[in-house]
Amino acid sequence: MTNYSGASFEEQVAKALEGNQKDLQEIKTDLKKIKKYILFGKIMNVIYLILIIAPLIIAIFFLPQIIKSFTNNYLNQVLPDSANLDLKDILENYSNLIK
């Protein structure tokens, strides 16, 4: 069984299979590159989350203590007689003076 090109059906199938194998190999290499790209993207997303969320968590735990110590130090310098008072007490006293 031959067609117009003079090649038999089996030869055409063999050529088509070789072409398909080459195409499949190219697809495999492209898929490997795509998988690496996606993996890199996932890793970068985790790193970005760590860089954004970790400082926020640290700030939630340590910032109130830092602010309290700063305000106490500041108030001790500005109002030396208020060493035993808390910021809340000072603000209440101030609001009472205003009323």
- In 3D space, the residue among 78, 96, 94 whose CA is nearest the CA of residue 70 turns out to be 78
pLDDT at 82: 54
pLDDT at 1: 46
**Mean pLDDT value across the chain:** 83
Predicted TM-score of the model (pTM):
0.51
- Each residue's pLDDT tens digit, 43-96: 999 999 999 998 998 888 888 888 888 877 777 776 666 556 666 777 777 777
Is residue 8 predicted with pLDDT exceeding 50? yes
* pLDDT band of 2, cuts 50, 70, 90: very low
